[in-house]
């Protein structure tokens, strides 16, 4: 559910960055310069034939710029961390019109702030990212009846383990209600390791669960299908949490099942330590706290789409009710986590505060230095703001 003024403004100035579409390999193809007006589908179309890729978005239509400053979860994240961690240089226009670069040796505080800090510090015009060798990928989707839920959740928990996680493997498990059709469990799998004619062992537990249909294969792409994101809920990953989330989702669908065109979805995405512990001190995302335990987390995402704008207010209300019910359940189980993935957050969430006191203070210091008049805080309504 995209919210109004997320990246535009009525009666104000909107900058169209689509012509910032450079794709230039540099440093002997070890890095690539990307204009932020590109989509990830455009990036992959250029890099795929060269056997290269980047830690970019999993949806072809997503733009480079917003994804990168929000952190970025990728099929490569188990190996390299968040996508923003692989950016070695940001080119940024500050509020006073100055064009600056942020690297590890030049404006390094701005580099760290932009790795998760959103649109608070300037207009990013170009990024330089590390490239990775990538040939064919193994991937696909399986559809399961909801009667397989217990075995499916056990497979997810075993997959998302703190030690022994296969860093080539990614899974997204979705609970889906389709308007007028049925409920189903969907498993999307992707494997970035060497291609094989047989499914990778990392997915064996999922593949043993009875399925209705499947379409896994070797593919030459990092892209996936388009969805509409609603809200993000981080949690400890265990059977009690996932089971409670399923029950709350199931109970909620009856309130929206008659909305024309509704697709009512809850997804589970693994967040193992191999992702969040990889570069915790060089980004703003909040995983550098010494109080954090080395435990697997799950990003629970609410997704909804529907046919008519006349139903917007009702569906959004029901989504918020689902979120509130699940949050209350997680609090009761002591299973919450303060981090909220900015790129999935709803407009009523506050992901930057969830980064923690020290990271918020560093972001505030960067804002004071690079945007002392608070132009991007007070005069740009979209996005999530650094607290004043």
Model confidence pLDDT, tens digit, residues 282-296: 999 999 876 667 899
CB-CB contact of 219 with 313 (8 Å) = no
Tokens of 33: 């310069």
Neighbours of 41 (CB within 10 A): 18
* Segments of the chain with pLDDT less than 50: 1, 217-227, 229
**What is the token pair recorded at 8?**
């535009």
- Residue whose tokens read 């995983």: 287
Are 200 and 145 a contacting pair, CB within 8 Å? Answer: no
DSSP string, 319-386: HHHHHHHHHHHHHHTT-B-S---GGG--TT--TTGGG-HHHHHHHHHHHHHH-TT-HHHHS--SS-PP
pLDDT at 162: 86
- Tell me if 90 sits within 8 A of 111, measured CB to CB: yes
pTM for this entry: 0.93
CB 27 within 8 A of CB 43: no
User: Vertex 224, ends 221 and 227: CA angle to 5°?
Assistant: 165
Q: How far apart are CA 116 and CA 307, in angstroms?
A: 33
Q: How far does Cα 300 stand from its chain's mean position?
A: 11
Beta bridge partners of 52: 133
Among 248, 259, 234, which residue's Cα sits nearest to residue 316?
259
The phi, psi pair for 219, rounded to 5°, reads -135, 155
Burial of 320 (0-12, 13-18, 19+ CB in 10 A): middle
**Separation between Cα atoms, residue 362 and residue 144, nearest integer Å:** 45
CB 126 within 8 A of CB 22: yes
Gap between the Cα atoms of 263 and 276, Å rounded: 30
CB atoms within 10 A of CB 317: 12
What confidence score (pLDDT) does residue 3 get?
A: 65
What the block records as the tokens of 161 is: 């383990």
Question: What are the strands of the beta sheet with 23-26, ordered from one edge?
Answer: 23-26, 31-35, 123-130, 87-93, 99-102
């Amino acid at each position: 559910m995209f919210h109004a003024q997320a990246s535009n403004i009525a009666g104000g100035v909107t900058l169209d960055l689509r012509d910032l579409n450079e794709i230039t390999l540099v440093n002997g193809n070890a890095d690539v310069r990307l204009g932020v007006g590109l989509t990830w589908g455009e990036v992959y179309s250029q890099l795929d034939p060269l056997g290269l890729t980047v830690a970019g978005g999993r949806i072809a239509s997503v733009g480079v710029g917003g994804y990168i400053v929000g952190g970025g979860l990728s099929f490569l994240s188990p190996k390299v961390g968040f996508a923003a961690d692989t950016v070695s240089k940001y080119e940024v226009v500050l509020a006073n019109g100055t064009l600056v670069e942020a690297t590890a040796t030049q404006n390094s505080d701005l580099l760290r702030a932009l790795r998760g800090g959103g649109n608070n510090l300037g207009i990013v015009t170009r990024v330089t990212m590390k490239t990775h060798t990538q040939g064919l990928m193994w991937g696909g989707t399986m559809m399961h009846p909801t009667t397989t839920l217990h075995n499916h959740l056990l497979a997810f928990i075993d997959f998302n383990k703190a030690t022994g996680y296969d860093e080539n493997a990614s899974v997204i498990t979705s609970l889906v209600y389709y308007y007028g059709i049925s409920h189903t469990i969907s498993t999307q799998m992707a494997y970035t390791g060497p291609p094989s004619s047989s499914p990778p062992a990392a997915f064996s537990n999922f593949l043993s669960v009875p399925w209705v249909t499947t379409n896994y294969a070797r593919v030459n792409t990092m892209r996936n299908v388009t969805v509409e994101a609603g809200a993000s809920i981080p949690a400890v990953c265990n059977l009690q949490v996932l089971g409670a989330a399923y029950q709350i989702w199931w109970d909620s669908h009856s309130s929206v099942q008659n909305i024309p065109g509704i697709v009512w979805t809850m997804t589970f995405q693994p967040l193992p330590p191999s992702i969040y512990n990889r570069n915790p001190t060089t980004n703003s995302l909040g995983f550098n706290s010494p109080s954090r335990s080395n435990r697997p987390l799950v990003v629970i995402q609410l997704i909804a789409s529907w046919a008519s704008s006349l139903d917007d207010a009702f569906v959004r209300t029901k989504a918020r009710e689902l979120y509130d019910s699940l949050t209350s359940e997680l609090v009761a189980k002591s299973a919450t986590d303060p981090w909220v993935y900015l790129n999935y957050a709803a407009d009523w969430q506050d992901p930057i505060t969830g980064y923690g006191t020290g990271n918020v203070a560093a972001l505030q210091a960067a804002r004071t230095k690079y945007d002392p008049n608070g132009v991007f805080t007070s005069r740009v309504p979209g996005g999530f703001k650094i607290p004043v």
